[in-house]
Amino acid sequence: MLVGLGLGPGDPELLTLRAVRLLKEADSVFVPGRIAYDLVLPYRKAEILDFPMTENADRIRSSMEKNAERIADPAREGMAVLGILGDPNFFSTFHRLCEVMQEKYPGIACATEPGVSSFTAFASVAGVSLGDSFLVTDGSEPRSRILLKVRRPREKVRELKREGFFSFILVERMFMDDMKIYSADELPETSDYMSILYAGR
């Protein structure tokens, strides 16, 4: 298995307890650069892989294939961890790497473990409150929405479908003992206050 592990925004004290545990338990650990390497080092040594910061699609693809080849055997034999700054689910190279892994080595499962994301850390550093709805983008057109506190998910999905969204996942009471995850065809009529709905185009 390959696990994309969020290391937080760069402060060693913002690694999660789960991140520290997984670093210690992993059979092998990889990182994309020196900052991530230094964050991981107090818990174990890691191998630095080359993930170039470029918009050249051919170079990115070549790098992903090379890194997937290096990770494949350790991930097939045990738990391989790729430690990534921030959270591996937001604007992360981990998603691209997993696409290549699934294409080249379909028997290897990919999973993620969250970390403190850059934009939530930014709010703390900048002293701003994100108490209202906000947009996070890299300049491209947003292709998904995350909605909090969705009390009537079926009704909300009907609205979103009219706006061109077609993929939906609802998570209710996340990380609690009674957590539930619903696909689009099993959404309840009403849901808990602590619910999050994903909508994708």
| Predicted confidence band of residue 107 (pLDDT cuts 50, 70, 90) | very high
- Burial of residue 16, with CB atoms counted within 10 A of its CB: 0-12 exposed, 13-18 middle, 19 or more buried: middle
Question: What single DSSP character describes residue 179?
Answer: -
Q: Are 112 and 6 in contact (CB under 8 A)?
A: yes
Residue 93 CB partners (closer than 8 Å, separation 6+): 32, 51, 64, 84
pLDDT at 56 (0 to 100): 86
CA–CA separation, 190 vs 156, rounded Å?
10
pLDDT at 6 (0 to 100): 97
User: In CATH terms, is domain 2-119 a member of 3.40.50.300?
Assistant: no
Is the pLDDT at 171 greater than 90? The verdict is yes
Give the mean model confidence (pLDDT) for residues 6-20: 96
Is the pLDDT at 104 greater than 90? The verdict is yes
Give the mean model confidence (pLDDT) for residues 168-195: 95
pLDDT at 93 (0 to 100): 86
Give the mean model confidence (pLDDT) for residues 20-46: 97
pLDDT at 22 (0 to 100): 98
CA–CA separation, 54 vs 89, rounded Å?
19
Measured from the Cβ of residue 42, the count of other Cβ atoms closer than 10 Å reads: 10
pLDDT at 130 (0 to 100): 86
Provide the whole-model pTM.
0.87
Q: Where are the domains of the chain?
A: 2-119, 144-200
Of residues 75 and 92, more confidently modeled: 75
Residue 159 CB partners (closer than 8 Å, separation 6+): none
Give the mean model confidence (pLDDT) for residues 98-117: 95
111-165 pLDDT, tens digit per residue, is: 999 999 998 899 999 999 888 898 888 888 899 999 999 999 999 999 999 999 9
38-83 pLDDT, tens digit per residue, is: 999 999 999 999 998 888 888 989 999 999 999 999 999 999 999 9
